[in-house]
Amino acid sequence: MTRWLVWSVMLIATAGSGTLASRARNTPSYTYHTLAALLSHGTFFISNLIGIDILVEVIQTRDAQLALIGFFVYAGASTLGSVLSHWIAMRFIETTGDRHVGGYHQ
C-alpha cells in the first residue's frame, strides 16, 4: 500500500511540475523555467523507478486487476497533478512580472 501512495504522490508531482515547466516556457523567466524543469525531471525519474517496478510485477504475474489499478492510479494522479498545478500557477505563481505567461517585453 505504501508503494501505491508514494507512487501517487510522485505522479501528482511529476505531472504538476511538467505542467509548470510547460507554462514556464511561455514566460521570459529563466529562473521559473529552470526550477520547474529541475522538479519535473527529478520527480519523473523517481516516479519511473516505482512505476517500472509495478509494470514488471504486472508482466510477471499477468495480473489484469493489478494492471487496471495501475492504469487508474496513473491516469487519475497524473491528471490531478496537472490540473492542480495549473490552478496553483495561475493563482499564486504567475501573477506578476516575468512569471506571467505571455509576459514578454520588447
Question: So where are the chain's domains?
Answer: 2-99
The residue type found at 67 is: A
C-alpha 97, offset from chain centre: 24
Alpha helices in 1-106 (DSSP H): 2-24, 30-61, 64-88
What is the Cα–Cα distance from 106 to 100, expressed in whole angstroms? 15
Task: Report the share of the chain in percent with pLDDT over 70.
Answer: 95
pTM (2 d.p.): 0.87
Q: What is the pLDDT of residues 38-62, one digit of tens each?
A: 999 999 999 999 999 999 999 999 9
pLDDT at 50: 96
pLDDT at 93: 87
Better pLDDT: 94 or 99: 94
- Going by pLDDT thresholds of 50, 70 and 90, the confidence category of residue 27 is confident
